[in-house]
Amino acid sequence: MLDGLLDGYTRSILIFTGIHIIAAYSFYVPFKTGQVSLGQAGFMAVGAYAAGILTVKFGLPFPVGLLVGGLVTAVIGVCVGFPALRIKGIYLLLLTLAFAEIVQVVILTWEYTGGAQGFQGIPFNKYTLEYVYVIVVLLIIFFARLERSSLGRAMDSIHEDEAAAEVMGIDVVRVKLLAFGLGAFIAGLAGVLFAHHTTYVDQVSFSILLGIEILMFAVVGGCTTYWGPAVGAAVLTLLPELLRTLRDFLELVPLSWTDFFPMNRIYDFMYEFLDFENEKRLIVYGVILILMMIVRPQGLITRDTLRPLQFLQQRTGHV
Amino acid sequence: MSEAGNSISLRADKLTKRFGGFYALKDFDMDVAKGDIHAVIGPNGAGKTTFFNLVTGMLPADSGRITFEDEAIDDPRPSRRTMRGIARTFQNIRLFGQMTVLENVMLGRHCRAYLSLWKALRNTVLHRPLGEAEEEREMRGHALEILDFLGLSDERHAKATDLSHGKQRKLELARALATDPRLLLLDEPAAGMNPHETEELDDVICSVRDRGITIILVEHDMNLVMGISDRVTVLNFGTKIAEGAPKEIQDDPTVIEAYLGEDVSL
């Protein structure tokens, strides 16, 4: 559909932005009930491998893989959610981290899906871009409705005061499990889309680092409204790309300005530094995170940020 | 209240709770008659709030039984007890501060509007985009009615933490009422209220009782307690030292000595 409009590079950037937005939302759902998970990358891996098995080994079409991959991940999510019910804060963080680590080991040792060689030959899905953004839009609609629904309020109340919510008749156990399962489902979708875009996944694709990145998307964007994770994921994914274009500007600097001693070194350093690929973008993330924690710990987007836009949702539960 | 055997709302039977070697509550027996305002008084640390925590399931009892309307309450989960019809307010106000007044009350209604979580999820996902689900409308209507009853309707869109202390206490009451309780536990509802607000509270509690809700009241304000209670139980160091009508309690020498101090007259 958008084939003629976008070149491969832009397309790829947009796809990864979208997948990161979906992943950030997968973090947001359990977070809404006060559960902080570092294991969302693990859930993405589960989705990717589950769908990969279906499409590679059984030759099923992509949509089936997407749906089943998501559902399988949701089931695993609920299973992980059970032990997670009893623990909070840093211990929950460690539990989800341990889950992601277990997934890594399973990926590495399971010969059926290639083991350490990685899962190869996953069919390329031509319409990943469309799939990704349809899902992003559906998720935004879902979260907009969740925020105004009783279920959303129940989740918020658990985040604020779990004991009080329970006494008010909220079945905290079920709501938390549902949130965890839903988060896993969404992460699973992100994983399936990722795998069928790159056509190759291994344990490095879903490392702990990705889990931390997902956490950062949500934290930087802000988790008090549903716009936060999307904005955070978009900003953090696009920023390194924008910084990379700074290199093109660097090339415009006349040679005569920089061909003597200190300047040539500085120029070379800058040129190298601005090549934000893979690991290097974490430098930018680190700086942003430190600045954010000092200047705006509540995240980029808060309810107050959205207040000027409130006319768009006049009907939001006002009487 | 049709049959004589049915007139007990809550019965505590040899209820005991220990924290280490300290007995917060020891072999505590109590019967609360339906439709009564039953006050539980006692010095700080006497076990009043512990009693509430045991009844609502926030703490597990070490031994003893609680019977609600002739049925033992076994399920330890507080939400199940709320579903059965027991609601409470908190001594240290525990409202959901990020939500509005109306949302707080609607939250209390959640357990009645949605018996299954799937329905709540389905309504979130599938209900037509314009207009709201029937359950949500019912919740809002009911919540507004309660806010109206307690005189909080004007503040319904204010953030809960922006209310004055007295109104926050009222909102706690509103939220508890939204769960449709048959037994309501009020933990120091008058704490931090000025005399005018306390007087108002007096009327509110009575009109809640007139709605057919049994009330257990923990309170330090003796004027309030003696004025509205049908029965008073006095606790000291986790054991019951007296029980009776307010008049009897006021004249009981053990109560006066143990709790009120010797030269206080009521």
% of chain B beyond a pLDDT of 70: 93
Summarize the confidence of residues B92-107 as an average pLDDT.
91
Handedness of CA B38, B44, B49, B54 (dihedral sign): negative
Q: Tell me what the mean pLDDT of segment A161-176 comes to.
A: 92
Contact partners, residue A31, CB within 8 Å, separation at least 6: A37, A159, A218, A223
Considering only residues 158 to 177 of chain B, which have any Cβ-Cβ distance to chain A shorter than 8 Å?
A: 175-176
Considering only A304-313, B107-116, B220-229, which range has the smallest mean pLDDT? A304-313
Query: Rounded distance, CA B171 to CA B197, Å?
Result: 13
CA distance linking residue B136 with residue B109, whole number of Å: 10
Residue A302 lies in a domain: yes
Given a cut of 70, whether residue A174 has pLDDT beyond it is yes
Can you name the CATH fold of B1-85+181-266?
Rossmann fold (3.40.50)
Residue range A70-97, pLDDT digits in tens:
999 999 999 999 888 888 778 888 999 9
Residue that has been written with the tokens 């939250």 in this structure: B107
Q: What ipTM, to 2 d.p.?
A: 0.86
Who among A142, A160, A170 is closest to B111 (CB)? A170
CB contact under 8 Å between B124 and A142, yes or no, is yes
> What's the rounded mean pLDDT across residues B213-224?
90
Query: For residue A257, is pLDDT > 80?
Result: no
Looking at residue B172, its pLDDT comes to 92
The span from the CA of B145 to the CA of B151, in Å, is 10
What pLDDT, on the 0 to 100 scale, is given for residue A67? 94
Confidence (pLDDT) at B82: 92
Give the pLDDT score at B1. 39
Q: What whole-number distance in Å separates Cα of residue A88 and Cα of residue A194?
A: 30
Q: In what order do the strands lie in the sheet with B183-187?
A: B86-88, B183-187, B214-218, B37-41, B231-236, B239-244
Contacts of A98 (CB under 8 A, 6+ apart): A39
d(C-alpha B254, C-alpha A86), whole Å: 45
Q: Decide if A200 is inside a domain.
A: yes
A8 Cα distance to chain centroid: 22
As a whole number of angstroms, the distance between CA B58 and CA B76 comes to 8
CATH superfamily of B95-179: P-loop containing nucleotide triphosphate hydrolases (3.40.50.300)
Q: What percent of chain A has pLDDT over 90?
A: 47
> Which residue blocks in A251-317 are alpha helix, DSSP H?
255-258, 261-273, 281-295, 303-306
Q: Is A136's Cβ below 8 Å from some Cβ in B?
A: no
B90 CB near a chain A CB, below 8 Å? yes
Residue A319, in any domain of the structure: no
The confidence band for B131, taking pLDDT boundaries of 50, 70 and 90, is low
CB contact under 8 A, A150 and B99: no
Instruction: Look at residue A310 in the predicted model and tell me its pLDDT.
Output: 61
pLDDT class for B171, splitting at 50, 70, 90?
very high
CATH code, domain carrying A233: 1.10.3470
Q: How far is B260 from chain A (nearest CA, A)?
A: 32
| Position A2 in a domain | no
Domain assignment present for residue A1? The answer is no
Smallest CA-to-CA distance from A20 within A210, A283, A298 is with A210
Residue A230: predicted pLDDT: 93
For chain B, give the mean pLDDT.
87
Interface of B with A in 193-252 (CB under 8 A): none
Sheet holding B71-72, edge to edge: B22-33, B8-19, B63-68, B71-72
What pLDDT, on a 0 to 100 scale, did the predictor assign at position A178? 94
pLDDT at A297: 83
Q: Is residue A318 part of a domain?
A: no
CB pairs under 8 A between A and B: 111
Residue A185 token pair: 């489902």
In chain A, the percentage of residues whose pLDDT exceeds 70 is 93
pLDDT of residue B128: 65
Q: Determine the pLDDT at residue A19.
A: 95
In this prediction, residue B76 has a pLDDT band, given cuts at 50, 70 and 90, of confident
Interval A89-118: pLDDT, tens = 788 889 999 999 999 999 999 888 888 888
Domain boundaries, chain B: 1-85+181-266, 95-179
Count the neighbouring beta carbons within 10 Å of the beta carbon of residue A89: 10
Instruction: Tell me the average pLDDT across A136-145.
Output: 92
Residue whose tokens read 């309307």 = B69
Domain count, chain A: 1
The rounded distance, in Å, linking the Cα atoms of A18 and A194 is 10
Q: What is the distance in angstroms between the Cα of B71 and the nearest Cα belonging to chain A?
A: 19
Find the mean pLDDT for residues A218-225: 89
Residue A205 has pLDDT above 50, yes or no: yes
| pLDDT for res A316 | 46
| B56: nearest CB among A149, A153, A167 | A167
Helix residue spans in chain B (DSSP H): 48-56, 78-84, 101-113, 117-126, 134-149, 165-178, 195-210, 222-228, 246-251, 253-255
Closest by CA to B108, choosing from B52, B27, B179, is B179
Q: Do A175 and B117 touch (CB under 8 A)?
A: yes
pLDDT value at A231 more than 80: yes
Each residue's pLDDT tens digit, B184-210: 999 998 888 888 888 888 999 999 999
Q: What is the span of the domain harbouring residue A84?
A: 8-313
Q: How far apart are CA B82 and CA B177, in angstroms?
A: 11
Does the pLDDT at position B101 exceed 50?
A: yes
Stretch among A167-181, A302-316, B216-230 having the lowest mean pLDDT: A302-316
Considering only the C-alpha atoms of chain A, give the largest distance between any 2 of them, rounded to a whole number of Å: 74
The backbone torsions φ and ψ at residue B31, rounded to the nearest 5 degrees and listed phi first, read: -115, 130
pLDDT at A313: 53
Tell me how many degrees the CA angle A176-A177-A178 measures, rounded to the nearest 5. 90
Q: What is the pLDDT of residue A1?
A: 52
Residue A137 at interface with chain B, using a CB cutoff of 8 Å? no
Tokens read off for B176: 């508890």
Residue B106: list chain A partners with CB under 8 A: 150, 153
Give residue B230's pLDDT.
92
Which of B81, B114, B130, B145 is best to mutate for the A interface (most A CBs within 10 A)? B114
**Which of B40, B10, B38, B8 is CA-nearest to residue B25?**
B40
Contact in structure between A112 and A55 (CB atoms under 8 Å): no
Residue A277's pLDDT is 66
Higher pLDDT, A308 or A119: A119
Q: How far apart are CA B156 and CA B185, in angstroms?
A: 24
